[in-house]
Amino acid sequence: MKLLRYGAPGREKPGLLDKDGNIRDLSKIVVQIDDAMLAPRNLARLARVKPESLPIVKSKPRLGVPYAGISKFVAVGLNYSDHAAESNMPIPKEPILFMKATTCLTGPNDDIIQPQGSTKLDWEVELGIVIGTKAQYVPENKALDYVAGYCVINDVSERDFQLERGSQWDRGKGCDSFGPVGPWLVTTDEITDPQSLGMWLDVNGEKRQRGSTRTMIFGAAHLVSYISRFMTLLPGDIITTGTPPGVGLGMKPAPVYLKPGDVVTLGIDGLGEQRQKVVAWSHR
């Protein structure tokens, strides 16, 4: 299934995408798609719903984060060896973990807001893992059983905030709008192998990132297992798993960063596409 939420911010309705690319309204079946709906029994109940029995949403509505109730946004750094090389950083021996603030979460096509004082705004296409079952000390060979599905994430980053002011990664990763998620949550019945997905990102129509999840240093199962040793993963928690090469920081002969007016498009095989315009921060 491809589950989604559509509508104005804060007033999103539940929906799903049918095989023909139509958004179907789920609001008469469930009140909301949230962390509780990601439990295996609830996903099984939704899987029994026939999409053709649901009303088609005829307009092209805004898409929100595909589900509500996210308690943690856990991120993994330098999880592709070629990205570590372009960042002039060593290949990690264990996953590098940091947190993205849940206030950075936005819909897949919402604007990226350049923060006050930002000079090095960057992009990162990443595979997101969505937890469906509470996970503590999970063995790696069982780890994917705790996953509800997968999604596209742009791990938007401010490199000056992240690397040049004391190297506190959270500070450069959690600004408002730095966590576009979606367009939909794709359940594990459709993505049986998360390590075989092509990834891409363009800026203003120009090629920037091309890669595949097969080149991760630490795969999805390892990450779920590893992270569950250090914190309890709850239904709805997201793990964003690192990015392939091609970020602005690593461009030659000199880094290239985002500026207001730029348009970022990105996607992952089977998980859909995103599009964001960069805008300057302003009082609202």
Q: Tokens representing 73?
A: 């946004």
Buried b (16+ CB within 10 A) or exposed e, 71-108: ebbbbbbbbbeebbebbeeeebeebbbbebeeebbbbb
Using alpha carbons, select from 35, 37, 36 the residue that is nearest to residue 47: 37
DSSP H or E run through 171 = helix 169-173
Domain ranges of the chain: 2-53, 73-280
Q: How do residues 65-112 score in pLDDT, each as one tens digit?
A: 999 999 999 999 989 887 777 777 788 899 999 999 999 999 999 999
* Residue-level pLDDT at 284: 61
Kindly report the CATH class assigned to 73-280. alpha beta
Mean pLDDT over the full length of the chain:
95
Q: Tokens representing 56?
A: 């088609």
In contact, 63 and 107? CB cutoff 8 Å: yes
171: pLDDT confidence band, cut at 50, 70 and 90? confident
56: pLDDT confidence band, cut at 50, 70 and 90? very high
